[in-house]
Amino acid sequence: MLKAAYVTTALLALVGPALALELIPPSDLSQSFFDAKPITSTDAKGRDAKLIFAPGGAVTFTNASGRASEGTWRLSDEGFCMTVGGAKRESCYIVVKQNDGKLSALKRSGQPYTWSR
């Protein structure tokens, strides 16, 4: 119940009640995005970072300054979770497809990250 409330709240916070979004299931993430091909992740301030999710659960994150960090990822019930660099806790995300076809990764707090290839 709490997880469903989180997903609904995150979706409404992103686009409001008037727009429809499609939640990307974890199985689709694994097949379509966690394939060792780079993903550009753009934050709300327009800064680009690169993510490479290897099929075995390793992730490489390269920030806008070019500094790379290694970590791990796993699928969750609604999306995925990852721990990168010196993080003490993992961060969990859902991924939604917007009406314009763009994907956004959302975590419990903060702005969405737009994904592109």
Domain 2-116 has CATH 2.40.128: yes
Q: Which long-range contacts (CB under 8 A, 24 or more apart) does 78-85 make?
A: 78/3, 78/6, 78/7, 78/23, 78/26, 79/24, 79/26, 79/29, 79/105, 80/26, 80/29, 80/34, 84/59, 85/61
The strand pair at 113-116 and 22-23 is best described as unpaired
Q: Where are the domains of the chain?
A: 2-116
Amino acid identity of residue 39, one-letter, is: I
Residue 115 CA to residue 112 CA, distance in Å, equals 10
Cβ–Cβ < 8 Å for 43, 59? no
pLDDT of residue 49: 95
Cβ–Cβ < 8 Å for 45, 61? no
Residue 87 CA to residue 98 CA, distance in Å, equals 29
pLDDT of residue 33: 86
Amino acid identity of residue 44, one-letter, is: A
Q: What is the mean pLDDT of residues 11-32?
A: 70
Q: What is the mean pLDDT of residues 88-100?
A: 91
Q: What is the pLDDT of residues 48-93, one digit of tens each?
A: 999 999 999 999 999 999 999 999 999 999 999 999 998 999 999 9
Q: Which pTM was predicted?
A: 0.76
Residue 62 CA to residue 57 CA, distance in Å, equals 17
